[in-house]
Amino acid sequence: MNSFFDSPTRFLFFTGKGGVGKTSLACATAIRLADRGLKILLVSTDPASNLDEVLGVKLCDSATAITEVPNLSALNINPELAAKAYRERSVGPYRGLLPAESIKEIEEQLSGACTVEVAAFDEFTSLLLNDTLTSQFAHIIFDTAPTGHTLRLLSLPSAWNTFLTTSTHGASCLGPSSALNNQQERYEQAVKTLKDESQTTLILVSRPDRIALDEAARTSHELKEIGLSHQHLAINAIFKAFNRTDRVALAFETRVESALKNLPNSLAPLERSQFNLKPYNMVGIKALRDFFTDPVATQTASFAPISVPVGTLTIEHLVDEIIADARCLVMVMGKGGVGKTTIAASIATLLAKKGHLVHLSTTDPAAHLEATLKGQAELPTLKVSRIDPKVETENYTKQVIASSAKDLDKEGLALLVEDLRSPCTEEVAVFRAFYRIVSEARDHFVVLDTAPTGHTLLLLDATGSYHREVMKKMSHPGSSPSHVTTPMMRLKDPKFTKLLIVTLPETTPVSEAEALQKDLRRAQIEPYAWVINQCLAGTETQDPILAKRAQLEVEQIRRVQNNLAKTVIIVPWQQRD
């Protein structure tokens, strides 16, 4: 297997879902190349970047030399600040030209994840094409690459001004951006650079886990569709049991082997690198330098069982609390791959086994409910359904295009069609079905497995927009707002909605869950509890690597318990998938 750092291209982009080791691998690669005597620039575009912590240096938005690693410099692009500036560049030219209500609608549209994505792309495009800066470095390494949707959009002909002035819907998820329009040529040059196999390699980072590998396969396909075919698969956290009598370790090893054996077909042809699971956190220059030399623990000393912090509850305790509060909506949220579907299915089946009517549904495009429930005895009080994002999106897209076609020229229509391919469209499209299911919780328990965090927040944005629109209409003379209950009201009502945040006992997933909680609280939605899933802590593993990982998990469990959540549920790592 050829590794991506043996003969690296000038630009290396590391992409993958949270918690797979993307930042660790990007940092370790940067240090390895710098130690060869090459001048390296490491750039993070992650909103929850922990590059400062990993490298042990306070970074900013300009290149900072890493004193412990001669030849290495690093910087952080803050996508949130970039998005704020981007929004103002987009909206500013129209202040005073459009009604205040239209400006407000545009600003709301530009609050989505796609805007943050494009704003970050805008920033690293400046780096990519900044010859004065890049000429100082042999290689530039980016931690987190843009999605295929963003790159497709930026490759289209510019038509934002026409779209703004003719669209009856006010704006798209990325906005009627004069800023984007004015820099179209620069964006096209950046995309051209990304497609150049002699200059750019995209490293798809994953773990040997079915869901993570499926996500990598989707990313690979999406990028290949737009011509970014120079890809390399990096699978992190490969595990081989050292203690051959440890049942947990052997089960862990079996799961890894199964995932690798059943690699998605689209990933099989890619050049691949594999890296072992480390018994320590990837923080500090020494740990990062050791990443590739891989000094794996082989000591035979026994380990005392890890004590899970006191005060944590189980799923069974949680279900009893939910029942005590009577029928309600249980929403399960979190990043992809943390086990939301498993948790949702567990809660629903426990409620049904206790004799309650339950509707279990999902808004997740991946829809793993059927596979998760396979083998479960049929329960007469449990109804299972799925909001099909594809069907809902197709119907919604047809409606939008039909209502806008007469007002747009060919170029503007092409832009609208592309914009409607974004994740934002999908979330808005499923909103109506989502609302129908939410309403059922007045009569029985509803357990809703939601899409990955970024998509879900857009769904809640749509819910909030609907709430504001209803309340605005009901404020007219003769209306009775006191008799109106909107979806957002139901989500804010702690008696009606129990919102659970699911995470893993690792640094990045916990940080991402913390960011989700902050977003929910800004929307005045208070999480009911946190569920920390797949905890090795408490399994009594004696394997040296897994036992050390379990010790590290306790730090994250205490972080959640002491600083982030009032109620914490611990779900141990299961030997069966």
Does 44 qualify as catalytic in the annotation?
Answer: no
Tokens of 198: 């002699």
Tokens of 539: 């399994």
Does 388 qualify as catalytic in the annotation?
Answer: no
Does 224 qualify as catalytic in the annotation?
Answer: no
Domain boundaries, the chain: 11-94+116-162+179-293, 315-572
Angle at alpha carbon of residue 129, lines to 124 and 131, rounded to 5°? 125
The chain-wide mean pLDDT, for the chain, equals: 79
The one catalytic residue in 24, 29, 372, 422 is 24
Identify whether the C-beta of residue 426 lies closer than 8 Å to the C-beta of residue 455: yes
What is the pLDDT at residue 160? 37
What is the pLDDT at residue 84? 80
Does 148 qualify as catalytic in the annotation?
Answer: no
The one catalytic residue in 18, 19, 170, 412 is 19
Burial class (CB in 10 A: 0-12, 13-18, 19+), 382: buried
Identify whether the C-beta of residue 240 lies closer than 8 Å to the C-beta of residue 252: no
What is the pLDDT at residue 161? 38
Identify whether the C-beta of residue 395 lies closer than 8 Å to the C-beta of residue 429: yes
The one catalytic residue in 16, 18, 21, 538 is 21
What is the edge-to-edge ordering of all strands in the sheet holding 382-384?
Answer: 382-384, 358-362, 445-449, 329-333, 497-503, 529-535, 568-572
Identify whether the C-beta of residue 508 lies closer than 8 Å to the C-beta of residue 281: no
Tokens of 520: 């929910």
Ramachandran category for residue 144: left, alpha or beta (phi over 0 → left; psi -120 to 50 → alpha): left
Residue type (1 letter), 299: Q
What is the pLDDT at residue 385? 86
Residue type (1 letter), 431: F
The one catalytic residue in 29, 46, 539, 543 is 46
Does 22 qualify as catalytic in the annotation?
Answer: yes
- Confirm or reject CATH 3.40.50.300 for domain 315-572, answering yes or no: yes
Q: Strands 200-206 and 139-143: what pairing?
A: unpaired
What is the pLDDT at residue 147? 60
User: Can you give the length of the chain in residues?
Assistant: 577
d(CA 540, CA 568): 20
Same fold, 11-94+116-162+179-293 and 315-572: yes
The one catalytic residue in 3, 23, 125, 507 is 23
d(CA 142, CA 286): 21
Indicate the SS3 state at residue 64: strand
The one catalytic residue in 3, 162, 312, 508 is 508
d(CA 158, CA 415): 8
d(CA 59, CA 74): 7
Ramachandran category for residue 339: left, alpha or beta (phi over 0 → left; psi -120 to 50 → alpha): left
Indicate the SS3 state at residue 96: coil
Identify whether the C-beta of residue 540 lies closer than 8 Å to the C-beta of residue 305: yes
Identify whether the C-beta of residue 8 lies closer than 8 Å to the C-beta of residue 272: no
d(CA 223, CA 197): 13
Does 473 qualify as catalytic in the annotation?
Answer: no
DSSP single-letter state for residue 338: S
- Confirm or reject CATH 3.30.420.40 for domain 11-94+116-162+179-293, answering yes or no: no
What are the residues whose beta carbons fall under 8 Å from the beta carbon of 289, sequence distance 6 or more?
A: 28, 31, 32, 35
What is the pLDDT at residue 185? 72
Q: What's the distance, CA 289 to chain centroid?
A: 28
Q: What is the pLDDT along the chain (577 residues), one digit of tens a residue?
A: 457 778 899 999 998 877 788 889 999 999 999 999 999 999 987 766 678 878 888 888 888 999 999 999 999 887 777 778 777 877 887 888 878 777 776 776 676 666 776 777 777 778 888 888 888 999 999 887 666 555 655 554 443 334 434 444 434 454 444 444 456 677 778 888 888 999 999 999 999 988 789 888 988 988 888 888 899 999 999 999 988 899 999 999 999 999 999 999 999 999 999 999 988 888 889 889 988 876 554 444 445 555 666 556 789 989 999 898 877 899 998 877 788 888 999 999 999 999 999 999 887 655 566 656 665 657 889 988 888 877 888 888 888 888 877 777 777 777 777 667 765 677 677 776 777 788 788 888 999 987 655 445 555 665 666 566 666 655 555 555 555 666 777 888 888 899 999 999 988 889 889 988 988 887 788 999 999 999 998 788 888 899 888 988 988 999 999 999 999 999 988 877 6
Does 508 qualify as catalytic in the annotation?
Answer: yes
Tokens of 104: 């407000």
The one catalytic residue in 15, 16, 22, 150 is 22
What is the pLDDT at residue 376? 61
Neighbours of 22 (CB within 10 A): 25
